[in-house]
A and B are shown apart, each in its own frame.
Chain A
């Protein structure tokens, strides 16, 4: 019976608090701010997302064309990561990074490439725009403070706290009631923010979310409630430790500025200044040195191989391996094949050597990012933002994850080549049937339509313009008739983004910190309020 009475009393105090808050101008201000600030940010985020999607579509088309290789040495798949619509909620770092990775044998992918700006006009980057989660943080934390900064001091100053406590209600009850009432005052604003967002999205029917993405949105909403309550408790804590509303509001607003604007910038700027990473330019110069060494070794080996009788052929250049060859002499083909048995595994080895430099660089970059992040955790709003970024897969970790999967795929692909002995095969660099390989003499004979019988004869003419003697095109030299390879047996890249449970597990640390902070501060506020001087 007593418990019921207490619950009823809490609800009474809560509803008083709610009705009183609604009648104040603070309430309207919250909604007005939401209305002013949120729709614009969503529209901008949507535009950024759409331009990222159109870039993705162009690049995917290009990748599909590039991936139609005719010989195994030309097959270096380009993988394009499609943007997630959840980036509309939280931009994270997703718009700093390109979404395209080309698998090379001679190098291990370090970072993604491709268009990294979501704004077509790069000068517009001058304007730092705010995404939905940043806007939410600003409005919700400000409103939470504006309603809780005088939760204790205000009633003390008007004398109503004394009047309440002259009744058989315990202080714990009064505190719970007031916090509950304030919570119910602020929840509509949170709902309104999310509602506005969904409303604006309805105007863009081309953007849809999968069911797992909706689950994430719901989780983000729940997290925002935790965030709301945390800032309410911070306001409560300040209010319970001081006697005047004037002091309380100043402390709360200063905390607000610190958490939202100073700590994030300070963290990033300190990390950038104090943690050296070195430039990519210098890394590239180091890589070039290694490549020179590789080229020298290949050159030396080339000299050891026997000379060919006829060097002319149709070739198509490949950036990451030997050129495709058609219409060469038998000895040329054989020489090339022997060359590949040496050079390709060496290429992969040198990729590993380059990787040691690259890894050093990327480790420094990652370290700088992690330090920036840890420093920013001095602000609870940054902790919240990071967990939302994690849920939207727009934080640095999800990109590291993507690149790791890419690297594993590369290993898988190379192993397939090694197991199938593709480096040793003619198919690595030509589609010409080995049965059709001709000797140099045979080729000259065909080319000159029988006029000149041997290579030696041709050179005996001592004419720099030997083309003048050719009556026919190079036999079997037409690569355009080659069809793209059947790639069905090759390992394919299957991107597995983390599922919801994994993302929650990763964000668990952040969520845990927020909730712990909440409980600790509430406990201390409760203790302060119990001894609060109500006079």
Chain B
């Protein structure tokens, strides 16, 4: 379970990046966090991972306060960063091996790695190729594999489908659904309204550091999610041509 209680981040120049975020993501739930660039999505993830300290409130992973017990909390979370680059001179398996061990999974065999990589849809011949030869989609998949193989109860993803072709994006999201069915809590920051409709259990919209709206699946299936989103962005609604 992921919890944010009045989570606030104000920078030294008085810029309010996150304003009293209250959020709870239960087991087996996929939560999409939408918002414009700079709205505070990445800041939220950074606060959960204790990369920055909150100026108010707290963030809890499986009930553990990330500021008070950072190392303990990290046992229970997996992370897929935006723009996965990894170690270019290592193969996919070598990268996987390193991060798996770092995450505490020390007894995995080569076959285990291959199996996981197949699950995410990587081609066999890519397993032992150096990462610098991979396309963006393939790299994102390796990043996802790393998160899955850790088998932590919570998964944080930052713009995982950015720059992916529809097929690759669909594959990635399918994997997330599988994880959700295993009872994992998933927080995904994205711009991708389209896919939100497909797999999200709940959708939240952030604007200028505040979570201005949360809708459940039933609720936004009825309304036009795009319209709601655009309204809150106070943009022009794109007329249907």
- Beyond contacts A20-B87, A159-B85: 14 other A-B pairs, Cβ-Cβ < 8 A, are A13-B102, A19-B90, A20-B89, A158-B85, A159-B84, A160-B85, A160-B86, A166-B78, A167-B99, A167-B104, A168-B103, A170-B71, A534-B51, A535-B52
B49 touches A158 (CB 8 A): no
Q: Does B83 contact A (CB under 8 A)?
A: yes
A-B contact pairs, 21 of them (CB 8 A): A20-B87, A23-B90, A158-B87, A159-B86, A162-B51, A162-B81, A164-B99, A164-B102, A165-B74, A166-B77, A166-B78, A167-B99, A167-B104, A168-B72, A168-B104, A169-B102, A170-B71, A533-B52, A534-B51, A535-B42, A535-B51
| Chain A, 1-52, CB within 8 A of any chain B CB | 9, 12-13, 16, 19-20, 23-24
B89 touches A168 (CB 8 A): no
Q: Which of B71, B75, B102, B104 gathers the greatest number of chain A CB atoms within 10 Å?
A: B102
Q: Does A283 contact B (CB under 8 A)?
A: no
A positions within 8 Å CB-CB of B: 9, 12-13, 16, 19-20, 23-24, 158-160, 162-170, 533-535
B71 touches A168 (CB 8 A): yes
Interface size class of B (residues with CB under 8 A): 20 to 34
By beta carbon, the residue of chain B nearest A164 is: B102
| Chain B, 36-95, CB within 8 A of any chain A CB | 42, 46, 49, 51-52, 71-72, 74-75, 77-79, 81-90, 94
Q: Which of A12, A23, A159, A166 is in CB contact (< 8 Å) with B83?
A: A159
By beta carbon, the residue of chain A nearest B146 is: A163
CB distance from A159 to the nearest CB of B (A): 5
Q: Does B215 contact A (CB under 8 A)?
A: no
Note all chain A residues with C-beta closer than 8 A to B52: 533, 535
B98 touches A168 (CB 8 A): no
Q: Does B101 contact A (CB under 8 A)?
A: yes
A535 touches B102 (CB 8 A): no
CB distance from A344 to the nearest CB of B (A): 81
Note all chain B residues with C-beta closer than 8 A to A166: 49, 74, 77-79, 156
CB distance from B64 to the nearest CB of A (A): 11
Against A, the Cβ 8 Å flags (1 = close, 0 = not) of B99-133 are: 10111100000000000000000000000000000
Note all chain A residues with C-beta closer than 8 A to B98: 12, 16
Against A, the Cβ 8 Å flags (1 = close, 0 = not) of B123-161 are: 000000000000000000001001000100000100000
Note all chain A residues with C-beta closer than 8 A to B143: 163
By beta carbon, the residue of chain A nearest B43 is: A535
CB distance from B77 to the nearest CB of A (A): 7
B102 touches A159 (CB 8 A): no
A166, B88: Cα distance in complex, Å: 20
Note all chain B residues with C-beta closer than 8 A to A163: 79, 81, 86, 99, 143, 146
A20, B150: Cα distance in complex, Å: 22
CB distance from A440 to the nearest CB of B (A): 102
B81 touches A20 (CB 8 A): no
